[in-house]
Structure 1
Amino acid sequence: MKINRVEAIPFVIPYRKPLRFASGSVEVAEHVLVRVHTDEGVVGIAEAPPRPFTYGETQAGVIAVIEKLFAPNLVGVSLLEREVIMSRLNRTVGNPVAKSAIDMAVWDALGRTLDQPVTELLGGYTDRMRVCHMLGFDDPAAMVDEAERIRDNYGIRTFKVKVGRKPFQLDTAVVRALRAGLGDEVELYVDGNRGWSPAESARAMHEMADLGLLFAEELCPADDVLGRRWLVQQCDVPFIADESAVTPADVTREFLGGAATAVSIKTARTGFTFSQRVHHLAEGLGVEVVMGNQIDGQLGSMCTVVFGSAYRLTSRRAGELSNFLDMSDDLLTEPLQIADGTLTVRPGAGLGVDIDPDKLARYRQDR
């Protein structure tokens, strides 16, 4: 069960509809397929979605750090030596997406070697999660139309609304239009991607107080230290730390500093090993958790549901699992299916999914 090779394969798949938000936009999936090979012929897989506007990683950077630094240091290490693996990866500062993809591919290889599903190795609480859909920037009518289509076609009844533009002329109007159009049977929460100031955020949340919002996420920068702490004290809904809480240590600082009262776990940036640590921290402190989305493809989305369904706390809320629907294609042999508002873990060892070699050959960029 020893690692003998790590591959980093760039691929590009366009989106049918770009996702736009306060800190950037995604119009094409320029991702990296990571494959961890073992001396027994087992291959574990995971997806690295670089987000340069959030973590500073690019597709080329992910490939370079894996090929030049990470892969040589992991050859010969057992799949069971996860602390050794993480210790060697963490000799290098940053690069959370590259590290996380390797970590999840290791878990997939371990599950395949043991003939066990990763979700059961992690915790095995359930086999499915309710799905939340993210709504990117558009005019109010278009966002209501998209939400109605997603609700009617897939049964999804939780929506995260991207805000962070003009809070009083546009953003609050969008959320109000969604509540009016969708009714009270859906759950809504807002994500500012650090686009508002603390004062704008407090006023906007006050103006939306009658809309029954579930959460508020990253409305203003965490670097506005006193303003962020003041804002969180004003909020009467849990305030989610997302891009301000990349590591377990970040999560601890945000909670202890009063800058957040909930956390988004994204397996694309904390893998399975560090996501476990964030989960245990949140569980011990008694705070809310949502499973977030890195605008993942289907492989990344399966990693999210595999982890989220493994624990009671992470499966309690709808996870952000549906934005792969906007991609024009994907790499899996069997596409994911959202039915009745839920996404289910695939049966089988490891992650339960495989890569279609023909699709990989079509979209990879290194040949």
Structure 2
Amino acid sequence: MRITAIEATPVAVPFRTDEVWAFGRRRGQVVVLVEVHTDEGMTGIGEAAAYPSTEVVQAALGALEPLVVGEDPRDIERLTKRVEVVGTWHHMRQNSPALAAVDMACWDIVGKVCGQPLVTLFGGRFREWVGFFYYVPGGTPEEAASQAAEGADLGFSTFYLKVGSSRPGDDIDRVAAVREAVGPDAGIRVDANEAWSSGTAIRVLRAMWEYGLELAEQPVSGRNLAEMAYVRGRIDTPLLANEASWTRYDQIEVIRYGAADVVSVDNQMDGGLLNLKRSAGICDAAGLPVVKHSLGELGVGLAAALHVMAATPNFVLANQAYSSLLADDVIIEPHVYTEGHLPAPGGPGLGVTLDREKVGRYADDFARDPGGYAFHDRRRAAEPTPLPRI
């Protein structure tokens, strides 16, 4: 069996409500769907987050194609090394989602050839259900409380809020409002996306302590692990590394510095599903739990990650996904949460099938407005954003 072509289709799917963070907002999710075709008629599907942009992903896929066409899609380690070494992608970061999508499609083919779901190939089911948090998109304290209450009614028990606003008091008020809305036992996780100085992070997180935070995600720069370790030693809330934890090589450094209590891992950020499994294994050896990060995905990418998470012991906390924000999806049977949990699909390979009508519809939507779901607020694009916020 040999790869004959890579087909890429950008799609844009709207959110139910805007995603808001410290530096902007977006109203929907753009991904590049990838289909890897073979000379035996077998096709695998994958998905790349449009990170840092759709144009970058498409260019990376174009550069990838000559390196993988003619290769056996079942020889994933060989294929990946060919890209990293012959293709000189060994220092990749912004190219990772493109390689991750091709990797994902090849694993889909392997599972289909074996007649097995990927969870079996990645070690078998360690758990039947994988937990996820509910994304509270942003807004006023009242709006955040309303969104969190909606998630609680759906059965979620962990709630994720973006913080790092220009007025830290606003963040504290939003956390307080969410705690009031979800009750004393729910987990609340905050993510500043590197917005704070170490002093601000310590001061604000201490003020939030009374509201029982589960985790504080990347409160300070991920490029200064000594600063992260300094902050970690001065707060009671456990610290989650994200921007500091792009690849498995970064995770080794996070562990070396003692910079986090929990580590974020992501196949899209590190080029493939096997690397996601490796990342979790590195952290497990260091005695650390991991959570799955998301650059934003639809049902294909979520299915792929679910197989690995269900087969890996130290995914013990709620993970990140965008499906609770999405207004629609591009697979025939979208993922449905039960009490904030999802099972790994049971069919061969990824176990999901593209809904061709929806793929066509959302591909047309992207073509009509390619920049419409970009991750910035166009009204604020010209404003300077000095960091850190003090």
Q: TM-score, normalised by structure 2?
A: 0.87
Q: Deviation per CA, 1:233-261, whole angstroms, max 9, x where unpaired?
A: 21333311112211111111122123323
Following superposition, the deviation at residue 15 of structure 1 comes to 2.2
**Which residue does the alignment assign to 1:58?**
53
C-alpha separation in 2, matches of 1:345 and 1:251: 25
Q: Deviation per CA, 1:37-64, whole angstroms, max 9, x where unpaired?
A: 222211111211123xxxxx21111112
Alignment map for 1:1-367 (pairs within 5 Å): 1-51=1-51, 57-67=52-62, 69-90=63-84, 91-92=88-89, 93-94=92-93, 95-124=95-124, 125-152=126-153, 154-166=154-166, 168-270=168-270, 271-314=272-315, 316-321=316-321, 323-365=322-364
C-alpha separation in 2, matches of 1:26 and 1:252: 32
Contact 1:255/1:261 (8 A) holds in 2 = no
C-alpha separation in 2, matches of 1:134 and 1:255: 27
- Structure 1: where are the runs of 5+ without partners? 52-56
Following superposition, the deviation at residue 224 of structure 1 comes to 4.1
C-alpha separation in 2, matches of 1:275 and 1:330: 24
Following superposition, the deviation at residue 24 of structure 1 comes to 4.0
C-alpha separation in 1, matches of 2:339 and 2:16: 23
Following superposition, the deviation at residue 127 of structure 1 comes to 3.0
- Structure 2: where are the runs of 5+ without partners? 368-390
C-alpha separation in 2, matches of 1:347 and 1:107: 15
Contact 2:222/2:242 (8 A) holds in 1 = no
C-alpha separation in 1, matches of 2:110 and 2:184: 44
Following superposition, the deviation at residue 199 of structure 1 comes to 0.7
Following superposition, the deviation at residue 27 of structure 1 comes to 1.7
Structure 1 letter corresponding to 2:129: R
Please say which of residues 106-115 and 92-101 is displaced more in the overlay. 92-101
> RMSD over aligned Cα, in angstroms?
1.9
Following superposition, the deviation at residue 185 of structure 1 comes to 2.2
Contact 1:144/1:178 (8 A) holds in 2 = yes
C-alpha separation in 1, matches of 2:246 and 2:283: 14
Q: TM-score, normalised by structure 1?
A: 0.92
Structure 2 letter corresponding to 1:76: G
Q: Deviation per CA, 1:177-231, whole angstroms, max 9, x where unpaired?
A: 2112211121111111111111110111111222222111111112345433311
Following superposition, the deviation at residue 320 of structure 1 comes to 1.9
**Does the C-alpha gap of structure 1 residues 38 and 128 become closer, same or farther in structure 2, counting only changes over 3 Å?**
farther
Structure 2 letter corresponding to 1:308: M
Query: Segments of 4+ in structure 1 off by > 4 A?
Result: none
Contact 1:70/1:88 (8 A) holds in 2 = no
Structure 1 letter corresponding to 2:257: G
C-alpha separation in 2, matches of 1:203 and 1:28: 33
**Which residue does the alignment assign to 2:386?**
none
C-alpha separation in 2, matches of 1:243 and 1:178: 25
C-alpha separation in 2, matches of 1:303 and 1:191: 25
Structure 2 letter corresponding to 1:324: S
C-alpha separation in 2, matches of 1:296 and 1:285: 29
Q: Deviation per CA, 1:247-292, whole angstroms, max 9, x where unpaired?
A: 1111111221233232112233232021111011001111121122
Following superposition, the deviation at residue 23 of structure 1 comes to 4.5
Structure 1 letter corresponding to 2:176: R
Structure 1 letter corresponding to 2:305: T
Contact 1:12/1:31 (8 A) holds in 2 = yes
Aligned to 1:215, the other structure's residue is in SS state strand
C-alpha separation in 2, matches of 1:62 and 1:104: 15
Structure 2 letter corresponding to 1:196: W
**Which residue does the alignment assign to 1:54?**
none
**Does the C-alpha gap of structure 1 residues 284 and 23 become closer, same or farther in structure 2, counting only changes over 3 Å?**
farther
C-alpha separation in 2, matches of 1:237 and 1:288: 15
Q: Deviation per CA, 1:339-359, whole angstroms, max 9, x where unpaired?
A: 222112222101110101111
Structure 2 letter corresponding to 1:77: E
Structure 2 letter corresponding to 1:96: S
Contact 1:128/1:305 (8 A) holds in 2 = no
Contact 1:9/1:63 (8 A) holds in 2 = no
Contact 1:229/1:259 (8 A) holds in 2 = yes
C-alpha separation in 2, matches of 1:184 and 1:2: 55
Contact 1:162/1:192 (8 A) holds in 2 = yes
Structure 1 letter corresponding to 2:158: T
C-alpha separation in 1, matches of 2:334 and 2:25: 24
C-alpha separation in 2, matches of 1:210 and 1:59: 42
Contact 1:163/1:190 (8 A) holds in 2 = yes
Q: Deviation per CA, 1:47-97, whole angstroms, max 9, x where unpaired?
A: 11123xxxxx21111112112x11111112223322222223322233111
If each structure's helix is expressed as a fraction of its own residues, which one has the higher value?
1
C-alpha separation in 2, matches of 1:161 and 1:204: 14
